[in-house]
Amino acid sequence: MDCACGNSEQNKEEYLAPLREVLKNYDGKQKDLIPVLQDTQEEYGYLPAEILAEIAAGLDLPFSRVYGVVTFYSQFHLEPRGENIIRICMGTACHVRGGSKILEKFKDELGIEADETTEDLKFTMESVACIGACGLAPVIMVNDNTHGRLVPDDVPEIIAQYE
Amino acid sequence: METITLKINDQEVEVEAGATVLDAAEKLGFDIPTLCHHPDLEEHGSCRVCLVEDAQSGSLMASCITPASEGMEIELDTELVEDARKMNIELLLSEHPNDCMTCDADGNCELQSLAYQYGISNPAFGTMEKAQFAIKDKNPFIQFNPNKCILCGKCVRVDNHIQCSDAIDFANRGSESVIATPLEEGLGGEHSNCVFCGQCVEACPTGALSYKPAQGKGRVHEFEKVETTCPYCGVGCQLELRVKDNQIVQVGSIYDKDHPNPLGEACVKGRFAYDFVDHPDRLSKPLVKKDGELQEATWDEALDYVAEKFSEIKDEDGGAALAGLASAKCTNEENYLFQKFMRGVLGTNHVDHCARL
Amino acid sequence: MKDSTYRSQVLVCGGTGCVSSGCQEVMDALENELSSNGLADEIKVVQTGCHGFCEKGPLVIVYPKGVFYCQVEPEDVEELVAEHLQNDNIVDRLLYKDPVTEESISNYEEIDFYQKQQRIALANCGHIDPHEIEDYKEQDGYQALKKTLTELEPEEVIDEVKDSGLRGRGGGGFPTGMKWQFARDAQSDKKYVICNADEGDPGAFMDRSLLESDPHRIIEGMVINAYAIGADEGYVYVRAEYPLAIERLQRALDQANEAGVLGENIFDTDFSFELHIKAGAGAFVCGEETALMASIEGERGMPRSRPPFPAQKGLWGEPSNINNVETFANIPDIILKGAEEFSSVGTENSKGTKVFALTGKINNTGLVEVPMGISMKEIIYDIGGGIGDDKEFKAVQIGGPSGGCLPEDKLDLPIDYDSLIEAGAMMGSGGLVVMDEDTCMVDVARFFLNFTQSESCGKCTPCRIGTKRMLQILERITEGEGKEGDIKLLRRLAKNIKSSSLCGLGQTAPNPVLSTLRYFEDEYKAHIYDEECPAGACQALLGAYVIDEEDCVGCTSCVDVCPVDAIEGEKKEVHTIDPEACIVCGSCVDECPTDAIFQE
């Protein structure tokens, strides 16, 4: 596999530097795996294959186990993600208050399906289980901001705020 | 040792503390179906076909993973048990292709046996019609077909805990779950730790893992099984040759605590490097070069010839002109004899062994 | 909330609901307005946690009078400051209006939404600043811990909890005192206390609110627990989707360590307890206690078979006690005020109060805490203000994906653990989602199965495959492809998934199907045999859309919005829909300004 950083040893070290910093904060045991993955994803935006291999080595864990953990939790992503993450709540309260219409509107506006990223890497859209803001149903989150009590017509304006 | 007394189908049984309900039932001679249970492996409790009923609470429990406890009363044949077992087999069948006719594991498949045992000729949810997963292995030895996998995890446990290769693990979640190598590159992929010991294939209860060289070459009822010692090194692993028409089709494991490989271990050579046995180029008689051509000879002719030549060299240049290299394929005793022969008979200290190279 | 150095305090609700309704802008506007009027030294603005009445946010309460303003916009701030804070006149237009009498109510305790509530776990929520340990201490915070460590033996603590009759608030309802006893009885040098804050039930957000509004209460409950069972280390496992809860809890942990109520030698005794936060990574199944522990250990969150129970072999194989957030929130009160006072509230077998998240097709959505034994009717109609938009009540879904749907004739049921199970639902974590006549019960069952199916860890056969098969059948039925025998097959699947799954997720996954079959079987039959969706919710079963000639004004809005160009019509002329081309998506209905489009 070609390394995303280019091929030279120096580039590779530069590329891995943020990961090395993350690993310094932990004891290097299996219990640290999930927090290390979380911090690393925070640094890189996603979890590239070569980074996972380094994490496995850094925590002295088999790569197969690291891969198993990464793919179990929906928070972790193996592919690059959009600059803005739109999470559309599909919880019960949102469902009965028309959450799926909001999802449809986002699909139309962005031209992508749930769990996809726009080509310009501006937006990644996810349909998620309850985000715990049921009083505002139907509700979505864009990055850390909550937008509630939506109707489909609100969607273009929300997208425009983040473009 | 502390013991526990419990009742199974109204029969009392005493087992050691720590034993499972399954152990207790087996002690009484009951046959409980299992898929994910393996006596040498840590229990997983995932297939849910070894269910039994706790008569006191009326609830079901997986017998393989439930510790026996004092005063337990277990029922094995209630309607609740039968229907739950049957449904779980039907559910597994609904995620499994119905291709026993052409499957290498036909006759050696625990899922097939259970479907037969429970008379499931028409599974409630049908069988898998379209393959859900692609087959990705690019190696010459082992094929993994995730569509036939029932996720019992035996392969993972054998790989992680017996072979200690850590080549595979569970990946993804829910109905997307799959046994995978890192990045799902397949056995033999760039990041794969697989050493092709074949232990996972032996543990697999279905045809999900199979030996590639054996594909299409015969199925279990056609095999003659021959126990043998692996010819490759001095460990002396015991292997089961599965032979059809006097040809080795595959090399299987034998599980016996008195063997040097009690958990059926083998290495890639013992498991897969047997094609020399029937190879047309294999020497089956000694050859002696006469008039520039190698010609068949008897053992007596050949050995006499070698002895004569050795003697000539020793007489002309002394024993030190000779050197010997022993083979790891020989036993310790044979290697001992070899060096004794080199030193005592030929008079040389130049003896070495291929295992040092 | 009293602070004598200020003549008045303005509390702004900073719960997630109000944050999204724009409370930060209101806060900023208030602070600006106060400084520009030179009032910043006299009047303090405090951002609190969730006040519960999310429907009416952003909420602002002005002390000392405790005047409750709702739906306050930044534009209202100038008037609020000038009138109320400078001239002491209550701003009537921002007060809550009784929906029946339309009278203004200034004291929130007189509002129906709050009147029938009894707050123990939520007592401080919305009233104190969750960022300040001193605010918590002013409300007798950490007094229960002090009493525990200086006056009580561990066994006495456990006895008090047993006597209180407290049962686990996370769903199962196991007696908390007994659970503690098991963990105490286990022999080991190392034990753990774990708080399960992996709140994942769709429709429940009480744990989030508690952590965001009163984090010290949870910490106090956990330290008391640790002393009782002899643990010296603990974890709070919080969903990663709750960043604000994690942030506030972390701050609270730091303050508690600093203040000597956590960490080494708490209250200068020999007792020490170290507490960590673990953020989840997006797996609902980690709310199951054994999966949660696997996740803390850095593994895939796959449940482990019980027995052994966590009290014997838990985190890293050591005895561990794990309770839910709300359970811990009740502990300080039980210790401080005594088991008797706690158990005087509630029913025979369910003591104390329960927090419910009231959502769905109801007028007053929000978080409520009510005594056990209250009827569902009181919650929905007296507190929740009934169903909106003049619709008919149909069902209330209680207990999330593990729970069930109860019909109108069960509304008088006194709510407790046992009555709910008998009725085919369960307390779960306390989500109450109200559904009206427009909600299709088969679709609701499909919705929940879709959820559990995608959140199944995949370990055991019945949950991994069984829920998938159930979902397929339900999808078929809602798409008009239901078959004779489907109901029977659903029941058989449900029975076996319940009885043979490895963990609670699978064992309860069929409940939404079973309860809807129990109370709304006719709706299933209508889908299967008559190819009709009585609620008019299942698109595939609805007839073609038709435009009413009388009402159509020829605006072409529907023509423009139709994704498949199935609508024809010129401006100012009546439009028509081609039933062959129409995909019944409903976009035109949403768009039509005169409601001229309907289904046959």
**Pair (B211, B291) in one structural domain:** no
Q: Which residues span the domain enclosing A22?
A: 9-72
With a cut of 50, say whether residue B278 has pLDDT above it: yes
**Where in chain C is CATH 3.40.50.11540?**
133-343
**pLDDT for the residue C241:** 83
Which tens digit of pLDDT belongs to each residue from B45-97?
Answer: 999 999 999 999 999 999 999 999 999 999 999 999 999 999 999 999 999 99
Please tell me the predicted confidence (pLDDT) of residue A5.
53
Same domain, B18 and B70: yes
The ipTM, to two decimals, is 0.91
Q: What residue of C is the nearest CA neighbor of B51?
A: C500
B neighbours by CB contacts (3+ pairs under 8 Å): A, C
Cα separations (Å) of C221 from B53, B207, C169?
38, 53, 14
CA C87 to chain centre: 39
Do B221 and B315 fall within a single domain?
A: no
Average per-residue pLDDT for chain C: 93
Q: pLDDT digits over C139-163, tens only?
A: 999 999 999 999 999 999 999 999 9
Does residue B304 fall inside a structural domain? Answer: yes
- Residue A143 near chain C (CB below 8 Å): no
Residue C4: its pLDDT value, please?
Answer: 61
Q: Give the model confidence (pLDDT) of B244-275 as tens digits.
A: 999 999 999 999 999 999 999 999 999 999 99
Higher pLDDT, C560 or C499: C499
Going by pLDDT thresholds of 50, 70 and 90, the confidence category of residue A6 is low
Contact A63 B191 (CB under 8 A): yes
Domain boundaries C353-436, CATH class: alpha beta
> Considering the domain boundaries, does residue A131 fall inside one?
yes
Q: Are residues B70 and B140 in the same domain?
A: no
Cβ distance of B167 and A67 shorter than 8 Å:
no
Across residues C39-46, what is the average pLDDT?
Answer: 91
Portions of chain C given CATH number 3.40.30.10: 8-115
What pLDDT does residue C595 have?
Answer: 86
Number of domains in chain A: 2
pLDDT digits (tens, 9 = 90+) for C453-477: 999 999 999 999 999 999 999 999 9
The answer to the question of residue A66 being in a domain is: yes
Of residues A160 and C588, more confidence is placed in A160
Q: Kindly report, residue by residue over C426-437, the tens digit of the pLDDT.
A: 988 889 999 999
Domain at C133-343, CATH homologous superfamily: NADH-ubiquinone oxidoreductase 51kDa subunit (3.40.50.11540)
pLDDT in tens, C194-241: 999 999 888 888 999 999 999 999 999 999 999 999 999 999 999 988
Q: Is the pLDDT of residue C563 over 80?
A: no
- Residues in B touching C493 (Cβ below 8 Å): 87
- Do A89 and A153 fall into the same domain? yes
Q: Which of A18, A43, A72 is the last residue of a domain?
A: A72
Specify the CATH number for the domain of residue B222.
Answer: 3.30.70.20
Facing residue for B67 by CB, picked from C307, C464, C489: C307
Measured between beta carbons, the chain A residues lying within 8 angstroms of B180 are: 64, 67-68, 71
- CA dihedral over C358, C364, C367, C372, signed as positive or negative: negative
Contact A139, A130 (CB under 8 A): no
Dihedral angle of Cα C145, C151, C157, C160, to the nearest 10 degrees: -100
C468, C492, C499: residue with CB nearest B60:
C499
- Collect all residues of chain C within an 8 Å Cβ-Cβ radius of residue B43: 305
B91, B173, B174 member nearest C461 (Cβ): B91
Tokens 């609701």 correspond to what residue? C444
Chain C contact for A23, CB < 8 A?
Answer: no
Confidence bin at A1 (pLDDT 50/70/90): very low
How many Å lie between the alpha carbon of B67 and the closest alpha carbon of chain C? 7
Judge whether B118 lies within some domain: no
Percent of chain C at pLDDT exceeding 90 = 74
pLDDT at C395: 95
Report the pLDDT value the prediction gives residue A44, as an integer from 0 to 100: 94
Strands in C233-238's sheet, in edge-to-edge order, are C274-279, C233-238, C192-197, C320-324
pLDDT for position A9: 78
Which residue among A93, A95, A146 sits closest to C16, beta carbon to beta carbon? A146
Residue C294 · residue C206 · CB < 8 Å: no
Q: How many domains does chain B have?
A: 3
- Chain A contact set for B167 (CB, 8 A): 62, 64
What dihedral angle (degrees, nearest 10) is formed by the CA atoms of B289, B290, B293, B294? -40
pLDDT digits (tens, 9 = 90+) for B117-173: 999 999 999 999 999 999 988 899 999 999 999 999 999 999 999 999 999 999 999
| Predicted local distance difference test score (pLDDT) of residue C520 | 97
Task: Identify the weakest region by mean pLDDT among B293-307, C9-23, C519-533.
Answer: C9-23
The residue among A72, A107, A124 that closes a domain is: A72
Q: Is it the case that residue B106 has pLDDT exceeding 90? A: yes
State the CATH architecture for C8-115: 3-Layer(aba) Sandwich (3.40)
Residues B265 and B317 in one domain: no
Q: Which CATH class is domain C543-599?
A: alpha beta
| Pairing mode, strands B73-75 and B3-8 | parallel
User: In which band, very low, low, confident or very high, does the pLDDT at C3 lie, cut at 50, 70 and 90?
Assistant: low
- For A82-91, the pLDDT digits (tens) are 999 999 988 8
Which pLDDT score is estimated for A2? 47
Tell whether B349 and B298 lie within a shared domain. Answer: yes
Whether residue A91 sits in one domain with residue A22? no
| Residues A98 and A152 occupy one common structural domain | yes
Which CATH number describes the domain made up of C441-529?
1.20.1440.230
Give the domain range for residue B58.
3-77
Find the helix packing angle between A63-72 and A33-44, rounded to 10°: 70
Same domain, B209 and B306: no
Compare A130 and C270 and report the one with higher pLDDT.
C270
Instruction: List the single range of B229-243, C337-351, C479-493 with lowest mean pLDDT.
Output: B229-243
C127/C498 Cα distance (integer angstroms): 43
B224 at interface of C, judged by CB pairs closer than 8 A: no
Q: Are B177 and C458 inside 8 Å of each other by CB?
A: yes
Burial level of B43, CB count in 10 A (0-12/13-18/19+)?
middle
Average pLDDT over residues B345-356: 91
Q: Could you give the CA distance from residue C280 to residue C315 in angstroms, rounded to a whole number?
A: 16
Beta bridge partners of B295: B288
- Identify the domain boundary among A72, A92, A116: A72
Segment holding C368, helix H or strand E: strand C366-371
